[in-house]
Chains A and B, each alone.
Chain A
Amino acid sequence: MNELSRRQVLKTGAALAAVTAFGIGTLLSRDAFAAIEQLTLVAPAKPGGGWDQTARSMQEVLQGAGIVSAVQVENVAGAGGTVGLAQFANRKGDASAVLVGGLVMLGAILTNKSPVSLKDVTPLARLTGEYEVIVVPAASDLKTMADLSAKLKADTGAVSWGGGSAGGTDHILAGLVAKAVGADVTKLNYVAFSGGGEALAAIVGGHVTCGVSGLGEFEAQIKAGELRALAISSPERLAGLDAPTLKEAGVDVELANWRGVFGAGELADADKKTLLDAVDAMVKSDGWKKTLETKGWMDTYLAGDAFSSFLGEEETRVTAVLKEIGLVS
């Protein structure tokens, strides 16, 4: 451990000395032809969470594939990413940093009445996504999504939903489903849990009627038969999961908990292009494909203007549902 870190210190020290003293450091380094020298990835969450893992995976791939010479991850945690976003928004025109964000941030901006929004940054690309699954404990008498829909429509308040934080992806999906089946959305009985484990325990223990979360959170328990998957929020059925899509089950809803990257606000066109190219090169690299596979992330790559317009649609939809749930006035 010590040996390793000392070597690291020496190595970085030497490289930096070369750069500053002789100005030829880049010629000596392995990544001589990297398009970008230095890049900071701002993960607006604590180490370990989804955004942090995205940032750290990007770091490995960007460096490994020689796209960027030196990448570092900076964690600015807090308030669904809005603390990191607010700090990042101050870097106007700065092309040396990229912010990781996603659907949860979109919701948090609205519920927290954040003074800074995604309009203050430059959308670069959507990278990954995870679909949401609706589950009930194995012993539940709700066998299909139709059973749940019927119960929801008959007495919305009697169905308690267990999921992640209020206003997050899980809550949004519950709201969208209630709305789509024609239930009274204002009566939606959503019980927010802080950690994935806590929600999972409440669902498996039968303390709530049903649960909603990213597939990854529930996959193991579904496979072990502790939970029954009623439906998945993807456009098509997923391999390895015996559950219909929401659409097949008669609920016209599709939702992915997507994650993406943003550049600083007021970015020069040339800088934006450099960053977009770097992201593009990363997504097309073998390292990234391998990462997606091991982490179980869906590839939802969508870059530039297409991502911007997707963001606009997503914002409209999320605002509408959050208003109906009663989280945003």
Chain B
Amino acid sequence: MGTLDALLQGFAVAFTPAHLMWSLVGVTLGTAIGVLPGIGPALTIALLLPVTYHLDPTAAFIIFGGIYYGAMYGSSTTSILLNVPGETGSIVTAIDGHVMAKKGRAAAALATAAIGSFVAGTLATIGLSFVSPIMVKIALLFGPAEYFSLMLLAFVTVSALLGSSILRGMTSLFIGLAIGLVGIDTQTGQARFTFGLLPLLDGIDVVVVAVGLFALGEAFHVAFREARRPEEISSVTGSLWMSKEDWSRSWKPWLRGTVLGFPLGALPAGGTEIPTFLSYLIEKRLSKRPQEFGQGAIEAVAGPEAANNAAVAGVLVPLLSFGLPTSATAAILLAAFQQYGIQPGPLLFTSNSTLVWALIASLYLGNLMLLVLNLPLVGLWAKLLLIPRPMLYGGIMVLSMLGVYSLKNSIFDLWLLIGIGGVGFLMRQFEYPVAPLVVGLILGPMAEEQFRRAYAIAQGDMSVFVTHPISLLLLILTAACVIGPAVLRRRKVAAA
């Protein structure tokens, strides 16, 4: 009833020439900053707040919405082409996406990422428009015990990333867990493994590690192994566009990614990474060709890309319908609302409905604009790989160093980046997969935090993990994911 009318009214506001132009500005800027690791939408919007203060609120939020959605697009582009994940949500994309690019399928990877992002972004925005209040109620049921069980489920992803040897994969995972220990312990404020170094107190940022392992480690490897070999000009071979097979292999992962990403993004401690992990896991388990995962499977790009964009929309659910900022970007948007004297919170939809609906309408618009901008550019982007190697890698190195520096304006992080690049190089030489390390680094600290919170709240009663129904359900799912494949395999063997 009212919702649809309000949305249409929102479209009427968003579809004025001026607002269309602002949306274009926003998505362009968002794409540009998404390319840079270390500079995310939160930082960009914070830096723009003083400038946009002079605009009317609707225009400002249209820009912010564009930046927010655009960042994910830009970040997947660099993940696929350059192996530089611009945001943590597209780390998973880099795993198979970059292999596809190296095999000359960059255009297909970029296209499935762009269309998947569009599909997921649009569906999730529809979800945002119509089911927000219910979503928030469900999200609030999640406490530390539920989150811990969710983390355990996400950890199963590692099994899909192990590569040829369990030992090597687990080694990589544990190194990631060990790196995650560095920094202040959140529950007691005590420093752990910081060696008295001040810059280590906040821990080692995932972006530094991901860029170091993926971008620098890969570049070192290519320099060491292949620099003297003639370049195989692979980026033009193969179809420039998605083939029929690509489409049929992509559409289901898009939808599954959306279904995963949107609710998990709406969880106050969900974030954009966990949905991408789970999407990768599910796609590999459901695929008829699991052996292709890690070797450039298109599902492994389509699913996680849809998941991260849906999660990005999901984050707006608690913000708009409850005034609950659950990510750095959401917190900045909240500050922006306050700057305009708008009281964010449970009453936002009723008290400032025109603005909220204009924002939501502009999200649809920005999403469409991003697709229109990105699809024709796919071929052009893919040609980026035709740049001669010396300059291509020169550019990647400058980009990586700039992005990591901007994270905290810290020279220390630059040295850390080079060191982690060295670790990535060695891991590649000795054929240890690097992806489990990143999973360990992201999930390890979160899992510890949630476990200890749950433990403290329950005053040491460990049964909370099985007495809370949602937590129990997640644990059963986790067990099924671990044991399931083995049972299935045995049954197949028995049947044969």
Is residue A292 within 8 Å, beta carbon to beta carbon, of the partner chain? Answer: no
A157 to B457 CA separation, bound complex (whole angstroms): 9
B139–A201 CB distance below 8 A: yes
A204–B325 CB distance below 8 A: no
Interface residues of A in 163-197 (CB under 8 A from B): 165-167, 189, 191-197
Interface segment out of the listed A75-83, A92-100, A243-251: A75-83
Is residue A13 within 8 Å, beta carbon to beta carbon, of the partner chain? Answer: no
Is residue B201 within 8 Å, beta carbon to beta carbon, of the partner chain? Answer: yes
Interface residues of B in 345-403 (CB under 8 A from A): 345-347
Interface segment out of the listed A18-26, A216-224, A257-265, A271-279: A216-224
A207–B189 CB distance below 8 A: no
A47–B338 CB distance below 8 A: no
Q: Given the interface contacts A78-B201, A158-B459, A189-B459, does A194 sit within 8 Å of B142 by beta carbon?
A: no
Is residue B419 within 8 Å, beta carbon to beta carbon, of the partner chain? Answer: no
A166–B328 CB distance below 8 A: no
Q: Given the interface contacts A1-B29, A192-B187, A198-B326, does A53 sit within 8 Å of B335 by beta carbon?
A: yes
- Which B residues touch A198, using CB under 8 A? 268-269, 326
A201 to B199 CA separation, bound complex (whole angstroms): 30
Is residue B167 within 8 Å, beta carbon to beta carbon, of the partner chain? Answer: no
- Which A residues touch B322, using CB under 8 A? 204, 221
Number of interface residues of A (CB under 8 A): 57
B318–A207 CB distance below 8 A: no
B324–A160 CB distance below 8 A: no
| Interface band, chain B | 35 or more
B313 nearest CB across to chain A (Å): 16
A113 to B191 CA separation, bound complex (whole angstroms): 9
Is residue B50 within 8 Å, beta carbon to beta carbon, of the partner chain? Answer: yes
B409–A76 CB distance below 8 A: yes
B43–A220 CB distance below 8 A: no
Picked from A59, A83, A113, A197, the residue with its CB within 8 Å of the CB of B268 is A197
Is residue B42 within 8 Å, beta carbon to beta carbon, of the partner chain? Answer: yes
B315: nearest residue on chain A (CB-CB)?
A: A197
A192 to B449 CA separation, bound complex (whole angstroms): 9
Is residue A266 within 8 Å, beta carbon to beta carbon, of the partner chain? Answer: no
Picked from B141, B186, B324, the residue with its CB within 8 Å of the CB of A192 is B186
B344–A48 CB distance below 8 A: no
Picked from A112, A160, A202, the residue with its CB within 8 Å of the CB of B201 is A112
Is residue B175 within 8 Å, beta carbon to beta carbon, of the partner chain? Answer: no
A324 nearest CB across to chain B (Å): 14
A202 nearest CB across to chain B (Å): 6
Interface residues of A in 65-104 (CB under 8 A from B): 74-79, 82-83, 86
A159 to B9 CA separation, bound complex (whole angstroms): 47
Q: Given the interface contacts A74-B409, A113-B191, does A200 sit within 8 Å of B198 by beta carbon?
A: no
Is residue B164 within 8 Å, beta carbon to beta carbon, of the partner chain? Answer: no
- Which B residues touch A78, using CB under 8 A? 198-199, 201-202, 408, 410
Is residue A295 within 8 Å, beta carbon to beta carbon, of the partner chain? Answer: yes
- Which A residues touch B346, using CB under 8 A? 220-221, 224, 226
Is residue B323 within 8 Å, beta carbon to beta carbon, of the partner chain? Answer: yes
Is residue A56 within 8 Å, beta carbon to beta carbon, of the partner chain? Answer: yes
Is residue B343 within 8 Å, beta carbon to beta carbon, of the partner chain? Answer: yes
Is residue B230 within 8 Å, beta carbon to beta carbon, of the partner chain? Answer: no
A48–B189 CB distance below 8 A: no
Q: Given the interface contacts A191-B456, A198-B268, A208-B457, does A48 sit within 8 Å of B331 by beta carbon?
A: yes
Q: Given the interface contacts A60-B50, A78-B199, A157-B459, does A201 sit within 8 Å of B189 by beta carbon?
A: no
Picked from B140, B318, B338, the residue with its CB within 8 Å of the CB of A295 is B338
A78 to B205 CA separation, bound complex (whole angstroms): 11
B183: nearest residue on chain A (CB-CB)?
A: A79
Interface residues of B in 31-77 (CB under 8 A from A): 42-43, 45-47, 49-51
Is residue A296 within 8 Å, beta carbon to beta carbon, of the partner chain? Answer: yes
- Which A residues touch B318, using CB under 8 A? 197, 201
Interface residues of B in 478-496 (CB under 8 A from A): none
B456–A167 CB distance below 8 A: no
A83–B456 CB distance below 8 A: no
Q: Given the interface contacts A166-B189, A195-B331, does A201 sit within 8 Å of B324 by beta carbon?
A: yes
Is residue A38 within 8 Å, beta carbon to beta carbon, of the partner chain? Answer: no
A196 to B81 CA separation, bound complex (whole angstroms): 36
B140–A201 CB distance below 8 A: yes
A120 nearest CB across to chain B (Å): 14
A195–B456 CB distance below 8 A: no
B332–A207 CB distance below 8 A: no
Interface flags, B152-184, vs A, CB<8A=1, else 0: 000000000000000000000000000000001
B141 nearest CB across to chain A (Å): 7
Interface residues of A in 196-240 (CB under 8 A from B): 196-198, 200-202, 204-205, 207-208, 219-221, 223-224, 226
Nearest 9 Cβ contacts at the A-B interface: A220-B345, A207-B143, A47-B46, A201-B268, A79-B201, A166-B189, A224-B346, A48-B46, A205-B140
A-B contact pairs, 28 of them (CB 8 A): A1-B25, A47-B46, A48-B46, A76-B409, A77-B408, A77-B409, A79-B202, A83-B198, A158-B459, A166-B184, A166-B188, A192-B189, A193-B453, A195-B327, A196-B325, A197-B268, A202-B268, A205-B140, A205-B141, A207-B143, A220-B344, A220-B345, A224-B345, A294-B341, A295-B339, A326-B188, A327-B188, A327-B189
- A: residues with CB less than 8 A from B are 1, 4, 46-48, 52-53, 56, 59-60, 74-79, 82-83, 86, 111-115, 157-158, 160, 165-167, 189, 191-198, 200-202, 204-205, 207-208, 219-221, 223-224, 226, 294-296, 326-327
- In the complex, given contacts A4-B51, A47-B42, A221-B322, what are 17 additional A-B residue pairs having Cβ atoms less than 8 angstroms apart? A47-B43, A48-B46, A77-B408, A78-B198, A78-B410, A79-B184, A111-B189, A114-B198, A160-B456, A166-B185, A167-B189, A189-B456, A197-B326, A201-B140, A201-B142, A201-B269, A207-B457
